[in-house]
Amino acid sequence: MTSEYSLEWKYIPVTGSLIDQNSNKVIWDLKSEDSKWPKYLFTVSISQQKEFMSDPELGWNWHKSWNLPDINYTINFKNNDTTMRDFRGGILEVQLFVIKKGLIANQYISLGLNGNSKQALFEPSITFSGLKFGTTSYNNKHSKFNLIFVLFYSRKEEVLILDSQISSDVFVDSRNRSNHKNGEISQEMFIDLFPPLLIDQILYKRENEKQLSKFNQIDNSLQGFINYYTSPNIRNKIKHPLFMIMRFSKCIKLFLIADFIKKSQSVKQQLNQSKEMKLLINIENSNQNTLKKVLDIIKQLENNYYEICIQRSNIPSNSVEITDICSLTSEYKRKYKRFINHAENQKYNENSNTSKTQKKKLKYTQKNHQIQQNQGQINLISQNKQQNQDDEQINKEYQVKEERDLEMNQQKIKICLFTLI
């Protein structure tokens, strides 16, 4: 099945653990049993009545409010001696799951599905219809989803998985967010400057318990870190790495590759290419529930500029730990106003540079006018040509200067750490 953008919607065999999102318990261990019904006896084919929507950048996508296309599931027996009657000693069933991929390899989180997602097979072919996604990619940190079909045979207390298939990725949006192009998070938010008052501001996480609001203060601890990034009442959460190490210095450490700043590249380019800024979260003596919450937050904070780790062994040996967080915080607060003023004056500087260029042009024009009177029309043509070249050179010089000033400003504004230590 191929779309106009040459995307292929397909199913492939899958193994691993299928985990319930709410209870965190294993639903199925997805592996085909080498049993009475080995794979060489049959194949499975899965087809849809129509395709999902497709986009050249986003890929396959669908809306939560829409019914899924009807999906046909068929068992094809390779041997004429094998028929559906051979399964009549028990029950042959197919169940459809909507999943997102977990943080651990071959771990799949079941997200739930609205409608009848489990059917018994009395004929070689069945159709799933009237189903809807139960959640959106936006509510799952912009993760793409997959469909998993599990074929299993149960007889008395024995349950055997005969086949499991996983689909291609699909992005699930809600109708009121359908205009959010590609469902992508802007990477710039991870290095955006933030007001220093947020470092020390008293914040609370609101939790509802039996319809009563309970407020937990967000302190400088691992639990405070969790509370901040899971708080429903804090909407615009700061994702800058400096904010994390300043606000939660007791549980987060900052590491940098010692020699990663190269003059031939901007800081932003180097961070984007190599993620040579590392944050280490201290999870010692944490229980499984706390660890799961931390891993979920790390997934939420995935970006192109820095990496968050929970094990010291994942920090490169040539990294340098930034230990003087107190001085770093003081310097950030002191220079923040200077950064903002520099940014606000950028437009003024551009206008000033433009004015200087115009004065230079006027000077050259007056000079060329005098030459025009003294040397005649032939020399005038030559001078006009020279004037154009001079004007181009002047514009080029000021353009280079403006670009250099802008680059320096971006380095200060975006990654202020390297001007503060």
| Residue 225: pLDDT over 50 | yes
| Residue 264: pLDDT over 60 | no
68: its two tokens: 């899924």
Mean pLDDT of the chain, nearest integer: 76
Higher pLDDT, 98 or 284: 98
The percentage of residues in the chain with a pLDDT greater than 90, rounded to a whole number, is 23
| Residue 46: pLDDT over 80 | yes
| Residue 119: pLDDT over 70 | yes
> What fold does the segment set 11-177 form as a domain?
Immunoglobulin-like (2.60.40)
| Residue 298: pLDDT over 90 | no
- In this prediction the pTM is 0.44
For tokens 């169940």, name the residue.
95
Question: Beta partners for 19?
Answer: 26, 109
| Residue 121: pLDDT over 60 | yes
Pairing label, strands 11-13, 277-281: unpaired
- pLDDT given at position 266: 46
402 close to 353: Cβ distance less than 8 angstroms: yes
Q: What is the tens place of the pLDDT at every residue in 52-104?
A: 988 777 789 998 888 999 999 998 887 766 666 666 677 888 999 999 998 88
Q: What is the tens place of the pLDDT at every residue in 389-402?
A: 666 666 666 565 55
| Residue 417: pLDDT over 50 | no
- pLDDT given at position 370: 54
Q: How many CA atoms lie within 13 A of 165 on its CB side?
A: 21
Q: Quickly state the pLDDT bin for 234 (edges 50, 70, 90).
A: confident
Mean pLDDT across the stretch 131-150? 90
Mean pLDDT across the stretch 365-383? 52
Alpha carbons 248 and 253: distance in angstroms, whole number: 9
207 close to 214: Cβ distance less than 8 angstroms: yes
258: its two tokens: 């010692």
